[in-house]
Structure 1
Amino acid sequence: MDVSAPVWALTIAGIVGLLAFDFFFHVRKAHTPTLREASFWSAIYIGIAVLFGVGVWVLGGSTMGTEYFAGYVTEKALSVDNLFVFLIIMSSFRVPRPDQQKVLLFGIVFSLIARSAFILLGAAAINRFSWVFYLFGLILLVTAGNLLKPEGEDSHSADNIVIRLARKLFHTSDRYDGDKLFTIENGRRVMTPMLLVMVAIGGTDVLFALDSIPAIFGLTQNVFIVFTATAFSLLGLRQLYFLIDGLLDRLIYLSYGLAIILGFIGVKLVLHALHENTLGFINGGEHVDVVEISTELSLGVILGVLVITVIASMVSPRGAAQTAISGARRHAIDYLDLDFEADPAEREKTYAKLIAEEAQIAALAPKFRAKIKDEEKLLAMIAQAHADHDAYLARTAP
């Protein structure tokens, strides 16, 4: 089905409108979303994406509908994986919790812009050169192999070359000034860490686009489906971050599941490239009679792998241990960074989480406890958080 210009215009206007609504009604005023708020709006955005897919199915047919849902689910899973890196970047820069929403929304908008550019480039390349499918397939197979390598937090360091260059060339402040990108320090205008966070998020968005766009082109070459599935997978990502905060570390097998999915799509792309082959050194430039994987089968494989991955992660004792360790480290840092004037409710909430995670760490089996990175440093931070909390209670006591 050909998509008319008015439909394109209405779709783009709707997506921009949703982003504007998100900013003016949720992000403009810095605050930490409650679990209820994050759950409600996550459900709303997922519901909008599903309703849009139903509309595509009804108006465009079952093929377009299946392609949309396969692309949406794949891009959503890759977006959740992106949240791991966003979490590491914001933890590295110690972004205040209430200001994290604006960073996430910036990341979503920049990611949408970057992926849209890659979509246009990818579509133009596919239309002119059928051998591009070989290249896309190779990219996904290499990415799948990299995902199988064991990773730690250090593998996604926020202190990359762009950040180091920015620190060297420009005056930067060590403190935040709300959500401002620039502030006045010692009588001169300097960058705040918030701008550096934006740079780090933007840089990772470009790298993620290099993986995600070949993946969805492996499921459909319909540019409208590619764009909308990508856009709707990103919408609501901010709310999802706060909804599954604490569970991100629990999804220890997500990278393996994504490796299987990307590897599967990579093989699908190579098979399609062989079927459309025009390269002279392969079968004399003629197409190769190979089996092509249907979109329906692709959707089934993607959903099946994700369900198995999530269930295996949630029941894994190692996942529970990693969640407790990472959560305790993050909440200890968050508590120590709180000002005395910080919201008392947020202070108590952070401290309560830290206490619960400390108890979980104390109950860990020796084999899991032995894997704690910098255990002495972690325990020292927790002890300091206890001391700071006692001092806070003493100062606020009547």
Structure 2
Amino acid sequence: MDVSLTVWVLTVVVLCALIAVDFFFGRKPHEVSMKEATVWTVFWVVLAILFGIGLAVFEGGTPSSEFFAGYVTEKSLSVDNLFVFVLIMTKFAVPAQYQSRVLMVGVLIALLLRAGFIAAGAALIANFSWVFYIFGAFLIWTAWKLIKEARSKDEGEEYEENRFLKMVERRFPATDRYHGTKMVIRENGRRLITPMLIVMLAIGSTDILFALDSIPAIYGLTEEPYIVFTANAFALMGLRQLYFLIGGLLEKLVHLSYGLSVILGFIGVKLVLHALHENGVHTPEISTAFSLSVICGVLIVTTITSLYASREERAAARAAKENGSEGADEESAESAEHRS
């Protein structure tokens, strides 16, 4: 796929315009309603679908399939990232009307970081074929790490500040309350940072870890930097609204991390096989169409089993509550009978 500089510039300009429109509508601090979140989420998904169809029309089925496979994978990883965003918002008690602004800045930081990682990944792949071994091994290790994290979530999880945040809080005096969307204020002649700045730094620093997982994953599906960039951009731009749309549903997706571990492990194996093939070893190549079917199949199964498990858990909780209340009523009745 030969992408000219004109197409690259036009794509970036259009994305910047869309970001500006999104920012314009969310410039005033407010609580995002379900209707607003739904409209914007549908808008970004439809836009991604139209872009994929456009690739099929102008470039053929293979680039389009690679885009959709990358988009679905990045979107799935982004949904898992929302768990961390929820923990961060809870940890720093971000008021509901400011959460949209925090997420907007977080998305912009993520876009800039991933653009850098994409460029670095493209340069490595172009010059060193053995980098696929590293990407594949990293994804397999990440898959195993996700399984361990999924097990720890069953026991409850809290956000822990990283060393960078602790250093910032230790060296820079901060206020104990929010001052609107201001990140720095002057109080009694002193310049102080606000919790808003700390939250945005928390979101931005975790975005680095997210990029380390997602970029090798999508390079396992396509080696075209243009598709890698656009798939990441479309997946991230709907993330802010998706946070408010499925905020309550996140707690029900109890098996999502397991599903993502299967997907990352599968792509990791695909990368290793591709690296062996590039080095002259006769190994089977996994097609993009098969990869897309595996990714979608795993996500569908994961969603169904998660909703079923959540329903069973709620039913068990209700049963335990009813049994507890019945036991309390019986004890009260026996106590009254004994007193009489």
Does TM, normalized by the shorter one, top 0.5? yes
Q: Secondary structure of 1:151's partner?
A: helix
**C-alpha contact 2:146 2:261 (8 A) present in aligned 1:** yes
2:152 maps to 151
1:365 maps to 320
Q: What amino acid does structure 2 have at the position aligned with 1:299?
A: L
Please list, as runs of the form range in 1=range in 2, the aligned pairs for 1:105-144 lying within 5 A after superposition. Answer: 105-144=104-143
2:282 maps to 289
1:311 maps to 304
1:214-233 deviation line (CA, Å, top 9, x unaligned):
00000000111111011100
Does residue 223 of the first structure (1) align with residue 222 of the second (2)? Answer: no
1:160 maps to 162
Residue 158 of structure 1: how far off its partner (Å): 4.0
2:291 maps to 298
Residue 131 of structure 1: how far off its partner (Å): 0.2
**C-alpha contact 2:252 2:310 (8 A) present in aligned 1:** no
Residue 63 of structure 1: how far off its partner (Å): 0.5
Distance 1:66 1:257 in 2: 21
**C-alpha contact 2:75 2:236 (8 A) present in aligned 1:** yes
Residue 20 of structure 1: how far off its partner (Å): 1.0
Q: Which has the higher contact order (CA 8 A, sep 6+)?
A: 2
Distance 1:176 1:317 in 2: 35
1:90 maps to 89
Q: What amino acid does structure 1 have at the position aligned with 2:5?
A: A
CA change 1:133–1:57 in 2 (3 A) is same
CA change 1:140–1:364 in 2 (3 A) is farther
**C-alpha contact 1:173 1:185 (8 A) present in aligned 2:** no
Distance 1:45 1:238 in 2: 11
Distance 2:171 2:97 in 1: 29
Distance 1:36 1:184 in 2: 38
1:276 aligned to which of 270, 275, 278? 278
Q: Secondary structure of 1:365's partner?
A: helix
Does residue 103 of the first structure (1) align with residue 58 of the second (2)? Answer: no
Residue 5 of structure 1: how far off its partner (Å): 1.3
Residue 19 of structure 1: how far off its partner (Å): 1.0
Distance 1:6 1:363 in 2: 60
Q: Secondary structure of 1:183's partner?
A: strand
Aligned-residue identity in percent: 55
* Stretches of 4+ aligned residues off by more than 4 angstroms: 153-156, 318-321
Structure 2: gaps spanning 5 or more residues: 325-340
Q: Secondary structure of 1:184's partner?
A: strand
Q: Secondary structure of 1:190's partner?
A: strand
Distance 1:218 1:40 in 2: 32
**C-alpha contact 2:259 2:302 (8 A) present in aligned 1:** yes
Distance 2:312 2:74 in 1: 24
CA change 1:164–1:298 in 2 (3 A) is same
Q: Secondary structure of 2:180's partner?
A: coil
**C-alpha contact 2:254 2:310 (8 A) present in aligned 1:** no
1:208 maps to 210
Q: Secondary structure of 1:157's partner?
A: coil
1:127-170 deviation line (CA, Å, top 9, x unaligned):
00000000000010000000111123875624221121111100
Q: What amino acid does structure 1 have at the position aligned with 2:221?
A: L
Residue 184 of structure 1: how far off its partner (Å): 3.2
Q: What amino acid does structure 2 have at the position aligned with 1:151?
A: S
Does residue 171 of the first structure (1) align with residue 170 of the second (2)? Answer: no
Q: Secondary structure of 1:316's partner?
A: helix
Q: Secondary structure of 1:117's partner?
A: helix
Distance 1:229 1:88 in 2: 26
Does residue 194 of the first structure (1) align with residue 196 of the second (2)? Answer: yes
CA change 1:173–1:39 in 2 (3 A) is same
Distance 1:320 1:37 in 2: 31
1:150-193 deviation line (CA, Å, top 9, x unaligned):
12387562422112111110011110001110123344221101
Residue 201 of structure 1: how far off its partner (Å): 0.6
Residue 362 of structure 1: how far off its partner (Å): 7.2
1:243 maps to 245
* Count of residues in Structure 1 that have an aligned counterpart in Structure 2: 319
1:63-117 deviation line (CA, Å, top 9, x unaligned):
0010000000000000111111011011100000010001101111111111110
